[in-house]
Every structure is written in C-alpha cells, then in structure tokens.
Structure 1
Amino acid sequence: MADGEVRTKLEHLNQAKKLVLSDPNFYPDILKGILPIIVASDGAIELRRWGSEFLAETFSSPQITSQTKQGLALTCLEHLLTLLNELETGILKNVIQCSSSIYPLVFRYICHNKSETAIWQQMVAVKAKILSMLDKGAEGVRLGCIKFVQRIILVQTPGASDPRLVDKSEVSLTIVPLNHPILNIHALEAEAHGLLDRLLNVFQDGKLDAPIITAILNSLPALIKGRAAISNKILNVLMSYNPLVAATKSMVFKERFVARSLEKTLRTVLNHLARASSGGPHAGKIQQHIQRLLQSKSEFSIDVPKSNKRVLPGSEIDSVKRTKYTRSDAEGEYTPTPPPPTIQVQPSNGTTYKTLYTLTGDQALSNFDVSQLPLDMATQITLATMYSVDPSALESAVATVRQRLASLVRAAATAANARPPPPPPPPPQFDDDDDDYVPAGGEDLDEPSRASADAVAYSEDSDDSYEVKDLVPATSRDKAAAMELVKMPDLSPAQIQEACEGTLDRMFETITTLDKPVKKERMGFNRLAATNWDRDGWITILSRLSTRGLSGIDAEITAKAQEDRMHYEALSGQVRQKLYMYVIGDFRTRMDAAIAWLNEEWYNDRLQELAAKGNSNKTPLEPQYAKWMAKIMDGIFPYLETTDRNIFLRFLSELPTIPPPVLANIRGLCLDPERSNLGFLAFQYLCMLKPPVRNDVLGIVEELWHNHNDVKTAARKLLVKFRPHVVGLPPKEAT
C-alpha cells in the first residue's frame, strides 16, 4: 500500500474517531466500518496500530454503557484473534488490554445465552493465545498478560455469597447456572487457581524481575478484597516474601537497588490492605510483616559490599622474611644488613637455575616454593624489592652470578675438548647425475667441526660481559640473518572486533578489582595519562582510546569492511559502550570515571570541529559528548535519590556543557513527588553557576509554574530571584 494512500486512510480514521468522541452513539456503526480496514491482510502496519489503540480506548471509555460494550465485544472477537498474530509489541499490548475489558462482558453474555458455542470458542482461543505470551513475550506484553490473568481470576472464582453484598454489575462464577452446557464451573475455577499459582510463584523463585513483580503486586489487592476464597492464600505468600533477603548476598548494585524498590512497593501494598481491613482477622499479621520489612530495610545497605580478599595463613609465609633495615641516627639513612655468605656452586651435571641464582645461605628460604604465592603478591614483592635494593648490593649479586656462569662455560668447554671427536657421518649417497653436489657453506664433510668448542671458549682476563652472538657460529649467524619470519595473515574485521572485546573485558575486570583511589592533588592538563596503574589511570587511557586513539584504526578497518561488504562496529564505540556499562554498574562510586570520560569526549568534539574548519574536504565525525552524556543520565536518573544530592550536583558542576536532553531529565525529577527537591536544587545550581544554560533552565521552570500546581511553590522561588516579572513582581522587589 502506498504511503499516500495510508496517510489518506489515517486521516479518515481520525475524523471518525473525533466523531465518536463527540457522540458515543456512533460507536457501533463506526466500529463495524473500520474493523475490516484495520485487519485487512494487505493493510499497512500503521492502520493496524491505529486500530489496536482505538479498540483499547473504546472498551475502556466510561462514556459507553456496559450493554453497548457487550454488543461491540461480540463483533470484535474474530478481529482480536487476528491482531494477536502481530509481532509488534505496541499492537499486542493494546489488543491484550482490549481483551481484558472484553472477557467479563463475553462471559456474562455466555451465562445468559447457552447456545452461543461459537462465540465462547473464539473467546477461549483469544485467552489461550494471550496466556501463551505470559512467560515468553516481551516485557510490555507480559505486563498486559498479568492484567488479563487478574481479570480471568476475578471472573472464574466465586464472588460474595451473601445476596445483600452482591454487586449486580460484578461478573464471577456465582452468576453461572449449575447446569450450564458450555461453562463448566469446576474446570473454570481450577483454571483460575492454576493461574493464581503461576502469579504467586514469582515470589518464591528468588528472582528480582522488578517490572513483573511490581505488576503482580499491584494486581493482588483487587483479588484479596474481591475474592475471599483466595485471599488467605495470597496473604500467606505476601507475608512470607521479603525481596531484601534475596539481594543480601548480591554484589550487583542494580539488584540491590531493585530489591529495595520492591520492598517499598510491597510495604505500600500491605499498608493499603491493612487500612482496607483494619478490623479483619489478618490486620495484626500484616502489621507484623510491615515491621519486619522495616527492620530488614534498616539493616540493608544499598551499596555493594566490598569483597574480602583471602590472606595466606601465617604458617605458609613465616619462612619468607624481608631484609631487616636499621635506622642510622648519624646519617639518617636506611642501611641494609650484610647479606649472608654466598654458596659456591661447583660445575656439575646436577647444576640447575636454582643453584645458579641462589645467593642466600638460609636453607629454609632457599627451599621455599615461590610458585605457591599468588601472582599479584609475587609481583608486588618483586617491585618493592627492586625499588628498595642497594645498587652496590645488586651489582655484587650480579657479579657473583656472572662468575658462576663463566665457570660453568669454562667447564663445558674443557669437557668438550677432552672428549674424542665423534665419528664422521657416513658419506651421502648421490646419483650419477649429482657429481657436482657441494654441501651448503662449502665445508668438507670429513673435517670435524670445532664450532662448539670455539663457541664456549671463554678467556679469564676478558670482560665479564659478552653477547649471545659470541656463542653462535658464524655460519649459523649468516643463515639466521637471511631467514625471515612468516608474515601473519591480516585479521578480518570480525576477528578484530572479537579480539578487542576480549581485551576490553580483561581490562575492565582489572579496573573493578582495584581499590578506590585515595584523594590526591589534581594536576589538571599537566597530568600524565597514567602516573600510577590505579583505576584513574586505566579510565584515562580508555577514555583517550575511545576519543582519539582508535580513530585512525577505525577508519582503516571500516574501509576494508565496506569493501568486503561486512558489518563492522567501530572499536571506539565498543570502548564507549564498556565505559558506559562500567559507570552505570555503580554510579555512586564511579562518578569520577564518568566525569573524566565525558570531559575527554567534549575535548575531542572541539578538536574535531577545529579540524573540520581547517580542512573543508574532511568530513567531521559525529559529536559524541551530548550523545553519551544523555545516555548516562537516562541510565542513572531512575536510581537517583534525595540523598544523592552532593554526587549529582558535583557531576553537573564538573561537566563543560549541559545538553537539552539532560535538562529534560531534571524536569522529570521536579515532577516526581519524592525527588522534586533534588530537581529544583539542580536547577537553582545551574542558574547560579552555569550562565550558558540559565535561560533554558528558567524557561523550563516558568513552564512548570504555569502548568503544574504541585510544584508551583518551588518554581516560584526560582522565578522570584531570576524572573520576577513572571510572578507579577517588579524587578526591584526581586530577592
């Protein structure tokens, strides 16, 4: 279908929608006319999307009577089943919402019309299709399925048995005749209990699926208050559920944050139930569980606990003693104690590297197996020793090892001269045509070679230093010089991406194991990329790799990938994504990393602008600062709390510019009742200390003052100071 035709049909459908909104009496005629259009096999996806939204709005509209909705529901069943075959999440969500509204209407109709088997079969088919998405669909679809399941449980369980308490508009098993030929009361009730068990199972499997659990928690109060037969079962599960227990041992910040959010939602639901049944039999138990949740919350910390490193038992390292240092009061220097007498190694067939390099006389220390130490501990010991060793002691130790090596070389040469020469190899067999064959190098095969003896000859009066080439025969050196290593084949773009991803994973594993850096003096632009291999050094290197270090490599590999018609994701993009995931993983302790990275991105964007101005033929690269800052803000805003005021304001203060999407996020904070103070505090800070964005901020505050009464008082405080004329004050009265 052409785009112009689709737009024309959408205009006509919108006109029909305006007509029914102005007069609900047109709903039956309009709905029957548009159903064939929105479910046509050759129709565009835009038409089906519009139709699903219209159906959801129709059956949730309070302007349409229940009797009219029932008639419309019977007309739509077949078309709903067709729309459930769509793959788009938005269409499925609207259709499931519409089905949730339709199910009680169709159920009531079947109760009073015992011969409408075809209609009930269509409703059963719609129900089966929706229930199949409860565990496998997209997240939004699963949330809609939970609402549909709640409606099924309400309909397929008995309502109030007292005639005085029965609501005539309520649909439940109570209205089903006992001898109904289509509706089997026992089967329907069993299905409802099975679906309830599927919902309650989420509280017992230990998973912290926040959207699903929250949706189920919000759907349970209606079941508890409306269905006494299943209320005890639901309350017992809720009063044994504590999401904080599942997250106590978790080392992931997001899971701990989700657990605390779920605990708050659970308390809200229980408080609502306690108020609704203040005189009921379960009120005391609900209050007790609320107190237990509050106690768990006071003992639970949202911050990720630091892992305790294992320490080697003392018995394993007692024999490894550090060199004792004594303090000289006269000279004020550390003087190492004299080393123990060295062991004279005699040349023998049993000589090993251990005997060659051992310089201590302590038998216990020389027999210690260094391989038992962890690699990081051995590295730290080695580096600390090299920094603190006395140069004269080091030279003495090296000279001792050289003497031992020289004696071993002389002994090997003497042994080689004393042995009789090996018998000559048998002469090679040649064909008659190969009389002119000469071995490589032109040597006579019958002459014994003395290369090995010449190679190990060592003069006592010569210098101790020698090179490896002195131990290699000249002919071998000539062959080695002529030899060339085989050139490795070039990696494909896919192989480069895989290797880069593995390298980045190892680097970030190293970063996460580093301790939090101590507070130190800031060197500004004069600092080096990594003066120490701490977390800040790694973040600086990765930030500069993502901005400036990989641009040339990315351009070269991208050109190659385009030639081979292969998909290639830029290496710099991989580094940026890893940095983003690292920051979001625990943003409260990693805000310094985010600030350093985003400042590098801003600086690189400025460099690219200058380069593009200087060279008109050069295509400027896409700016990255605003893109990744907005992405980081979108990631941390759902988890910001009022207690994060200092962290958040410092983050805003150390960024060079504030893009418009970030201001929109802060506006969302202002409209959040629990975090409104944090949002207006951020706006006040930006107005006072970020003049370039002051007008944009005040425009947002002015819009809030005009359109949102809940935040009018907080908005007025800022406007009185910076735009008094908006609130009707003259400039001279501004405070």
Structure 2
Amino acid sequence: MATAQLSVQDQIRQLEGARKLVLGNANYYTQVIQATLPIIGPSAQVEFRRWGAEFLAEAFATPAIAPGQKETLSLVVLETLKLLVEDPNQDVLVLRGVIQAAASIYPLALRWIINNSYDTHTWERMTAIKTRILRIWDTAPLNVRICCIKFAQRVVLAQTQSINPEPRRGDLLDISLVMIPSNHPILDAPKLEAEASGLLDRMLGVLQDNSSDALIVDATLNTLSILVRNRPTTSNRIVNTVLNFNPLKLASSPLTPRTKVLIKSMEKTTRMLLMHLSRRNPQNPLVGRMQQQIERLMRSRAEIFDEGSRKRALVEQPNGVETKRQRTGVVPPHPQLEITPLKPGPHTLADVFTFTSNDGLKHFDVSNNVPAHIAARISVTTFARVDPQLLDRAIQGVRDRLTTLYEAQQQPVNPETAPLDVEEDEDDYEPDFYTAEDTEQILNKLDSSPADDRHELEKPALGGLALPTFHLPPPPTLNPEQAAKVGQGSVTRVFGTMRTLEDPAIKKAKAGINRLAASSYDRDSWITVITRLATRANAGLDNLEEDEDSKEAISTIRLSDTIREQLFNYVLEDFRKRIEVAVSWLSEEWYNDKVQEQSSPTLSDIPAHYEKWTLRLLDGFIPYLHSQDKVLTRFLSELPELNPAIFSRVQTLCRDPSLVNLALTTLYYLVMMRPPIRDLALDVIQDIWTDYEDARPIAAKYLQRWRPNFIEAAQQTLSGNEGAVGASATTVVT
C-alpha cells in the first residue's frame, strides 16, 4: 500500500528540521544543500523555492562555514541559482533570496576561476547571473532593488584594488583585483576594473540625483562604508558624492507625516555615515568638510522640525473679527526668589543652600532615591536652562547667609595670646587691654625661648581647650637592599609610563649631548632621563669595593644595571622602531666611559659599559635580520665608536648566504661615509673574502676600488694553490 504523499506544510516542517540541524552543527551543510537542491529547483512549488532561496542566502552568509567549503558549495548551487534568477515570472521573495546568495558567492567564484582557469563553465554561469541581476536592478520591486545594490557592492569590492599588498597571505575573505595574474586566459583585469567603476557610478547616481526614495538611499549609504575603508581608490569619489547629497530636499514640499519620516531617515543615515568615516580615518583631508556637513545637517534638521511646532505669527484681521492669540518671543519674567534669613541657632550646610519653604522637599533625601548618574544629568540640564539672573540671585543669597553665620559666631579666646595673671572669677578687676600677637610673633617667641619653656607652651592650657602641637614620626630607615628594591620598582613604573607615550608627530631637531632632559613631557624626554640615570648617576662609584662601608654605592650600581637591563629589553621588544633609543643610550654610555677615563687616568679597572651593551644589542637583534633590513646599517652608522669586536658580529652574518649582501653593503657604507674607520672596515671585508667563498664576488667588487693589490695577490695565491693541487693529483695518478 503506497504511503500518502505529505502535504506542503509537512514537507516545509521537515525542511525546517534540516535547517535546525545545520544551525547546530555546520558540518552538515554540504549534505543538506546537496539533498535539498532537487526540491527547491525552478520547477518546484513556490513555497519550496522561497524556502530554498532563503536557506541558500543564509548558508553562504554565515561565518560558521569555512571559506574553502563555501567555495566548493558555490560550484554546486550556481546552476540552480542561474535557473531561478532567469525566470521572468519568478516570485519576488525567491528572487530576493537568490540575489543575496549570489552576492555572497560572487567573490568565491572569482577566486575559484583565478586559481582554476580551465573551469570556464563556472564563470559563464556566474557571468549570466550577474548580467541578469544588473538588468533587473532598475525595474524590480523595491525589496529586490535593495538586494541588487548589495550585489553591486560585492562586485565592486571584488573587481577593485585592495589595500592588502599580499591578499593571498592576508584575509581569505578579501578577494580583489590584485589576485588576478596578468596572463590569465579568462579574466581581464582592466575590463573588470572598468566594470566595477561603472557599477560604482550607477550606485552613486541615486545620491547625485538627490533621490527621494528613502529605502534606496539608505541601502546605498549603508554599502559605502566598507568600500571607503577597504578600497582607497574609491574613497574620494564616494565621500565627495555623499557631501554633495542633500537628504533634506523633501523639506521644500508640504511636510506630511510620511515625508517627515523619509527626511529623518535619510538625514540620520547620511550623518551616521559621515561620523563613522571621520572617526575611522581622522587623517583624511576631507574630515573638515565632513564635520561641517554633519553640523549643517543637524542644524537644518532642527530648524525644519522645530519650526513646524511653533505657532504662526499674528495676521492682521479686519475690523469686527476676533484676533487670535499672538505668539510672542518675550519670555515671561520669572517670579522673584524669596530668600528668607536664617533663624538664630545652629544650622547645617543644607539649611544654608535651601530656599524652599516646602517641608516635603526639605526632607527629601536625593542620595537614597535618585542614582548618582541621573542626579548629575538632571543637575547639568537644570543649570544649562536656568535663568542667569535667578542663579546670580541665589548665589548672592547663599553668600549673605554665610556672612551672617560667620558674624554671629563668638570669636574664641586664644589661650596663647591671652593676657597673663588674669583670673576670670574676679569681677571687680578690670584688666588692661593687650594687643593680640599674630602668628609670626608667636613663632619667633617659640624659636627664641629655651627648650623647657617651649614644651611648657606646647602643653594644653585652660582646661584642655587648646589642642597640643602634633609632630609626624620620623620615617623608618631603609637598608641598602630595601632601597635597591624600591628603586627597581620606580624604574619599572617609569618604563610603564614611557610605553604609554606616543612618538611625537613632528620630529624636532635634537640639541645634542648637552640637551636638557625632560624639557617636554614626551617619550624622548623620558628616554633622556632614563639613559642619564643609568650612565651618570653612579659616576665614580664603579671602582668601589664591596665592603660594609660601600653598601649604598653598591645599591646605586645595582640600580644602574637594572635600568640598563630594562633599556635592553625595551629596545629588543621592537628594535626596528626603537633603534633611535638604542643609539641615544649607547651614546650616553660612550660619553660616560670617556669622561671616566679622563677623570681617573690612573685607574685601569673602570668598567666599559659601551662595548658590553653594544655587543649585547647586536647579539640580540642580528638573528632576526633579513636580507632587505636597513636597521643594521643605520645602527652602525650612528654609533659613536666602532671597534673590531663590533665588526666581528657583522662578519658572522656571512654564515647565512642570504645575509652576505646585507653585511657587505653595511661595511661598504661605513667605508664611504666614515673615513676614520675605513681601514678597519676594509680589513673586515678582506677577512670575509678570505673566509667565505660565497661572498667573494661582492667583496671583490668593493675591494677592487680600495685595495686592488690585495685582490691581485689573493688571485695569484689561489692560482698557485690550484696548480699545486693539480700537480699533486698528477703525481698520485702516476
């Protein structure tokens, strides 16, 4: 017995179950798409076609599927999409889903055909889909036209130049014209770029014509942001078009509720786009015009919609007709604020600032009923709208109340300046009038009085009414280990502060070795302070022996070494950008070593920090150099002194054949630009010619100009050695 055929609703329910399955586990997308393609084909019922188009659009837009898997699935569904979109009587909802799926598939199909030029049928299907979508762009229903705009945006993104110089190694989703080789048999890059330029002009035509179709305008504006961000070649054209677009054009017509909604929608979308572009790229030369346009739109919008809510002006009426109430621009005067004086007695600070006579408001506790951020917002809004005259009146009333309270207080008797030998219980005694001493006289008396008398004066008098003098306890004494630990913490905080400072936008000329440290609060000033703390703070203390009497000096030396280690680590974190820091630091080290040598010529055990830290820096960043790196040349050319130990590190680069050219180019630059060390650099080039056979062609080219005799002698020596080897081989054979 044959089973009854399922109804359309039951089959749709089963398809929804398949959709829930793939939403839970994206690995089932391949099986579900292949199984549902026969069901959602062009000959299927409209309900199945609607579900299939929506499902395909959702599948190719989800990030849960890997780009490689999407690319494979796109080859499977292209024929179905082509048949669905070419049907002239196709359902609108089906057409919308097909175009959305095609917008996601187009970059994948382009990348597939770039890497697989033999598959011409796939590109023909994709081209047919693109041609059909662009043909129905202007005549399709509104919701389909919005999808066509999205498809055109994806085509422009795929057929223009990307900001990524190496798209194959960058974002897999950033597919652009850069990926197409010049000799591709199917794709012609100039034609594709011209087509993309025409599509962009077609998109921007809606804005250039000042269209009043808010949905089309908003859809176009929403697709332009990613084009400006990822395709710089289109940036100026798009921004200038948006700046020339007037979203308030409909304001000249009668303002109906529908017109108001359309104007607000287009104005807000335009303003949000300009704000987003100005924030993402503040260095854009058009940012100033964007800000002016944003302010102009906000001001025009306020004028248009606020004007509609105002009352119309008075119109002269004929005699006998009742005149309507006139809108006046004069603000009614505010009622006078009554500030009652405070009653005698103690008062709180709230009483001083309270002017209302309402007991309910007086006892209302704001801190328990209104959150702090809401109270702050209400206060700011109130102060912005309050009448200035009323505010001045209230401030003056508070001042008058404070003055009244101050005058009402009795001045306490100062026991230190009161006349002596006065007994308060003798009513018949009338003391003489004494002038109270001021603070300076009291301090002078305390300084000149003996210690015992001073302590007596510091004691509380008159029954303990006066407070005794308070002295802070002396700070605890730090031992050398604690001082060194505290110093290390301070150095760490200084480096943390320095990392938060950006490089100055304008590089100013430096004043040399005698420049003022920390003359401006920037990174260079901090570096100058730190390097001089490391090099000059312990000048003359390095030769002290470690005994009980020199612990403080040892702590200073340890602190200097800590700063040097921090500087070393700071430079190596990003040595290409911080090579200037290394040169400044090593210059200070070299200067300190020379000053120490001149000040103590008899001492031979003064440590030389310059050579030690220069070699450590070279050993730190030489393993990370590549053949096109220029940081080594810059570093060696700016160092104050070069010696054989430093050149030996450069010579080790020739062990790597890819770095031979870098090492010899750096040495030859020093030969040309630093004559004092020319002979030393040429000696190193000679050693490289002798020790490394791979480097001989380049080294011989440099030595031929400066030391031709060495090349001739070396070649003769090699010829003689080869002859001797050949004779020995002949003898052995014989």
The TM tier, using the shorter chain, reads 0.3 to 0.5
Q: What is the TM-score when the length of structure 2 is the normalising length?
A: 0.40
Q: Which entry has the higher C-alpha Rg, 1 or 2?
A: 2
Q: What is the TM-score when the length of structure 1 is the normalising length?
A: 0.40
